[in-house]
Chains A and B, each alone.
Chain A
Amino acid sequence: GQQLNQSPQSMFIQEGEDVSMNCTSSSIFNTWLWYKQDPGEGPVLLIALYKAGELTSNGRLTAQFGITRKDSFLNISASIPSDVGIYFCAGQLTSGSRLTFGEGTQLTVNP
């Protein structure tokens, strides 16, 4: 079946630094999604991408849908302590179909 490789597995950064993480797939997706999970909570959708090459921002977050449809990137600029959590990428073939999730990137921000 489809697999998503998400990297890095964990990151330890200083407040104010920029962060980049990515996901790659062995097959194409038509939608890419990025979620954030705060400690002890369920994941919450941050950004959805629907078109190859699309670049979308949500505040300090920017995500891109790779041109090959097999990858996606999430960047966080000027990190703050509340950015701490686990970030998941997810790919979806069609609306309403099952999501395939990456293994997550654990982000720690030191003040």
Chain B
Amino acid sequence: SQTIHQWPATLVQPVGSPLSLECTVEGTSNPNLYWYRQAAGRGLQLLFYSVGIGQISSEVPQNLSASRPQDRQFILSSKKLLLSDSGFYLCAWSSLVGYTFGSGTRLTVV
């Protein structure tokens, strides 16, 4: 069966520290993958999407970057976190019907 894993579930990081969030998909090949950010109780902001290994499209200029080193692995990174990077980060893949989302990472930058 097809599953999506996202970790960690929660993260508290100081301002200026690096970030690495990982997302992996199982049970499918060559999926379209997405990173979203959600402010508290608000809508979904698309950050990055990828249609294949090494192919990354950025939707908004920001302090974050994404990489896809393997077919089913999608990584969200930052070299130096800002307070404004706090939020709920969601990974998703383009499944047979719409998207399937991971369980999310709650990032708090302090």
Contact = CB atoms under 8 A, between A and B. Distances in A.
Interface string A100-111: 011110100000
Contacts of A95: 96
A44 interface: yes
A60 interface: no
A92 interface: yes
B74 interface: no
Given A92-B98, A101-B43, A101-B44, A42 B32 contact: no
A110 B90 CA distance: 28
Contacts of A31: 98
**Which bucket holds chain A's interface residue count?**
20 to 34
A96 B44 CA distance: 19
A103 B43 contact: yes
Contacts of B104: 40-42
Interface residues of B, number: 20
Contacts of A99: 98-99
Nearest to A41: B103
B43 A104 contact: yes
B11 to A, nearest CB: 14
Contact of B41 (A35, A101, A106): A106
Interface of B: 6, 32, 41-44, 49, 90, 92, 94, 96-104, 106
13 contacts: A31-B98, A33-B97, A43-B101, A45-B97, A45-B98, A48-B98, A90-B98, A99-B99, A101-B43, A103-B42, A104-B42, A104-B44, A106-B41
